Amino acid sequence: MTSSPARPGPGEGARGSGGAGPAARHGDALALLTAEFDGGRGVWRSAPAGGVCVADPEAARAVMGNRHGVVADTSDFYHHRNGVFGPRSAQVAVGRAARLLIQRHLRERQADLPRLVEELPAPRSEWPDAGNLLVLRHLRDVLLHPDAPPHLHTTVEAIVSRAVLAGARRRHSAPSRLLFRRRALSALHAEIRARQRAPLPPGHPAGPRDLVDVVVGGGGPTADPRELVEVYLSFLFATAGSIGFALGWSVLLLGTHPERAAAEPAWIVREALRLWPVAWLFARTPSRAQELGGVRVTPRDRLMVCSYLVHRHPGYWERPDEFVPERWAEAPPDAAYLPFGHGAHTCAGATVAVRLLEDLVGLLTRDRRVSVAPVTADSAGPQVGPALAPPRFTATLSRPDGCPERR
């Protein structure tokens, strides 16, 4: 693990499993922490994982909420190679502008969704990639407005296929990844510089055209374009990556639990995010020596808040390891649920992400039955990287009469 379990850069492709690279280490960390948790530990020092694991829901909220300044104030999202994009007011403004842009797009383009679902490859689609690509297609104009240079559209698509999709790392050699990384960063860098030189007038009636405008507007004309590129990449990973993986988990759980297909789409999405939180590990640094859940920590420690374990804490959840969407019909233990973080740095895109997921799951369950099959016998567990992606599987969407869809 790195100190920040956020997104990798283009070409690093650390979101998938396999190999002895960072992804394998993430997979090891999940297995290790789960074994150490063993059904209920709260906060403990994990020498093999190299930090202090926080799985107790109250302690997790104290760290993430940071009400008493217990940790250095930061979230993963705005980290870049030289530090953190900021000031905080710019972070908040960028997050808000991004949310509003996506919100407007979802509202105006909702009618496109059924067609996108219809266009999933038939009779079988390959997941989780199908979910990432579907989200990419729906949010393409938000990521890059249609009049942006064509080569940049190609670059963004290539970043998704080479760095966002689970397992992308294994598909390319290290030199090829390095070369691609340089080219992709340089193309984004040039576009951001160009827009810094010719910014939209303040109060432009149409607002930002895409997320590049959002980060350029938030950083201003003097911000280092290299840092803005990284913030832009965070948005790319949050949209095509995180929403796509969350959709993949929902489809996988629906396919493996056909008896739950009639559940409310909102419950399915929440339960999928509970069992398999895409953002499964948050790194934080204690601001001072203190006691946390009975463990003495200092600023030299690395805290690892593990939402995956918080979400399965048996002291808070009944049947914690089971897919039970109906549990959301009643007031759930919010205290032990943080798929979008908690406190001041809670995900700025949570509402839009959930809305899109619910719409898509609604479309997938309303007139169809989902059945799934693993791609290989060993592809049962999650693909663990900075994000928790579903294993590879194929999905068949059938009409209620049981016939696979044909086109």
Beta carbons of 339 and 277 less than 8 angstroms apart: yes
Out of 17, 66, 75, 250, the only residue in the binding site for ligand HEM (CB under 6 A) is 75
Among 11, 22, 27, 95, binds ligand HEM (CB under 6 A): 95
102 or 212: CB nearest ligand HEM: 102
Smallest distance from ligand HEM to CB 27, Å: 19
Write down the number of H helices and E strands in the chain.
13, 13
Check residue 208 for interaction with ligand HEM (CB under 6 A): no
Of the ranges 176-184, 323-331, 339-347, 360-368, which one interacts with ligand HEM (CB under 6 A)? 339-347
Pick one of 239, 250, 365, 383: the residue that binds ligand HEM (CB under 6 A). Answer: 239
Structure tokens at 285: 């640094």
How far is it, in rounded angstroms, from Cα 234 to Cα 229?
9
Q: Is the peptide bond before 128 cis (omega within 30 degrees of 0)?
A: yes
Q: Which of residues 352-371 bind ligand HEM (CB under 6 A)?
A: 352-353
Q: What is the C-alpha separation between 218 and 224, in angstroms, rounded?
A: 12
160 touching ligand HEM, by CB under 6 A: no
Please tell me whether residue 345 binds ligand HEM under the rule CB under 6 A: yes
Query: What residues does 146 pair with on adjacent strands?
Result: none
**Residue selected from 232, 282, 316, 323 as contacting ligand HEM according to rule CB under 6 A:** 282
Q: What does the DSSP 8-state code read for residue 242?
A: I
The answer to whether 392 and 170 are in contact (CB under 8 A) is no
- Among the listed residues 8, 10, 208, 339, the single contact to ligand HEM using CB under 6 A: 339
Strand bridging mode 303-306 / 43-46: unpaired
Going by C-alpha positions, the residue among 77, 75, 47, 65 that lies closest to residue 301 is 47
- Interacting residue with ligand HEM among 7, 15, 61, 99 (CB under 6 A): 99
> What residues make contact with ligand HEM under the rule CB under 6 A?
75-77, 91, 95, 98-99, 102, 235, 238-239, 242-243, 246, 278-279, 282, 339-341, 345, 347-349, 352-353
